[in-house]
Amino acid sequence: MNKDVMQTEETRQAKNRIARAARCPACQLQLCKAREASPHDGLKEAERTAMQGADRAYTCQTCGITLVNSRDAGKPGWSHAKGI
Ligand SMILES: [Zn+2]
């Protein structure tokens, strides 16, 4: 039960972070690109990644957000990582 409460709190904090995070135009564009597209020039692959499997996390040097590139066909190719 406590775990559920904590997850709810984490979700709320993650949403707040996303609301505050302003994506730069290059990141905005990246989200529209195909799974196979290369990360834009400002994206550096994150050294520490919480992602499992074939997912890769990239941190933008311009706006500081983290984008995830997934090879999982059930997920979007590029997405804005939550809580990283
Ligand atoms: Zn960016």
Give residue 67 CA to ligand 1 midpoint distance, Å: 9
Domains held by the chain: number: 1
Give residue 54 CA to ligand 1 midpoint distance, Å: 22
Question: Are 25 and 31 within 8 A, CB to CB?
Answer: no
pLDDT in tens, the chain (84 residues): 566 666 777 777 666 655 555 899 999 999 999 999 999 999 999 876 555 667 899 999 999 999 999 988 888 899 998 654
Does this model's pTM top 0.85? no
Give residue 80 CA to ligand 1 midpoint distance, Å: 10
Domain of residue 58 covers: 2-80
Give residue 68 CA to ligand 1 midpoint distance, Å: 12
In this predicted structure, what is the pLDDT of residue 21?
Answer: 58
User: Residue 80 pairs with which residues in a beta bridge?
Assistant: 67
Mode of pairing for the β-strands spanning 43-45 and 56-60: antiparallel
Give residue 42 CA to ligand 1 midpoint distance, Å: 7
DSSP character string of 14-53: HHHHHHHPPPPHHHHHHTTS-TTSPPPTTEEE-SS----T
**Radius of gyration of the chain from its Cα atoms, rounded to whole angstroms:** 14
In this predicted structure, what is the pLDDT of residue 44?
Answer: 95
